Homo-oligomer: A and B are copies of this chain.
Amino acid sequence: MSKTWRIGVAGLGTVGGGLVKFLAEAPLYAPQGGRAEVVAVSARSRKRDFDISAMTWFDDAVALAASPDIDIFVELIGGSDGPAKAAVETALKHGKPVVTANKALIAVHGQALAALAEQNGAPLLFEAAVMGGVPAVKIVREALVGEDLVAIAGILNGTCNYILTEMEATGRSFADVLAEAQRLGYAEADPTTDVGGFDAAHKIVILAALAFGSAPNYADAEIEGIEKIELADIRLAHDLGYRIKLVASAEKIGDGVSVRVHPALAPLSHPLAQAGGALNALFIEGRRVGRIFVQGRGAGEGPTAAAVAADIADVMAGAVRPVFQKPGAQLVKAPAIEGEQRLTQAYVRLLVKDEPGVIAAVSETLAEENVSIDSFLQKPVHDAGGVPIVLTTHATPEPVLLRAIQRIGALPQVLESPRMIRIARV
Contacts and interface: CB of A to CB of B under 8 A. Distances in A.
Nearest to A143: B135
A271 to B, nearest CB: 7
Contacts of A314: 142, 319
Contact of A290 (B297, B320, B321): B297
Contacts of A303: 288-290
Contacts of A143: 127, 135, 138, 307, 310
A135 to B, nearest CB: 3
A296 B287 CA distance: 13
A179 interface: no
A14 to B, nearest CB: 12
A397 interface: no
A139 B135 CA distance: 7
Contact of A306 (B28, B134, B289, B309): B289
A295 B296 contact: no
Given A138-B138, A313-B142, A320-B32, A296 B302 contact: no
A147 interface: yes
B31 A320 contact: yes
A144 interface: yes
Interface centre among A18, A147, A320, A322 (most CB of B within 10 A): A147
A292 B310 CA distance: 15
Contacts of A269: 274
Nearest to A317: B319
Contacts of A145: 28, 309-310, 313
B293 A294 contact: yes
Tally of this chain's copies: 2
Given A313-B145, A318-B318, A320-B32, A295 B292 contact: yes
B291 A293 contact: no
Contact of A293 (B22, B147, B296, B301): B296
Nearest to A137: B143
Interface in A217-267: none
Interface string A63-75: 0000000000000
A169 interface: no
A146 interface: yes
A148 interface: yes
A133 interface: yes
A78 interface: no
A220 to B, nearest CB: 26
Interface in A11-38: 18, 22, 25-28, 31-32
A399 interface: no
Nearest to A30: B320
Contacts of A135: 138-139, 142-143
A133 B289 contact: yes
Interface of A: 18, 22, 25-28, 31-32, 127, 132-135, 138-139, 142-148, 269, 271, 274, 286-297, 301-303, 305-307, 309-310, 313-314, 317-322
23 contacts: A18-B288, A22-B288, A26-B147, A27-B146, A32-B320, A127-B143, A132-B289, A133-B292, A135-B138, A135-B143, A138-B143, A139-B139, A142-B317, A143-B310, A289-B297, A289-B302, A289-B303, A292-B295, A293-B293, A294-B294, A317-B319, A317-B320, A317-B321
Given A26-B148, A32-B320, A142-B317, 11 more contacts: A26-B147, A133-B290, A143-B307, A143-B310, A146-B310, A147-B306, A269-B274, A271-B295, A289-B303, A293-B293, A319-B319
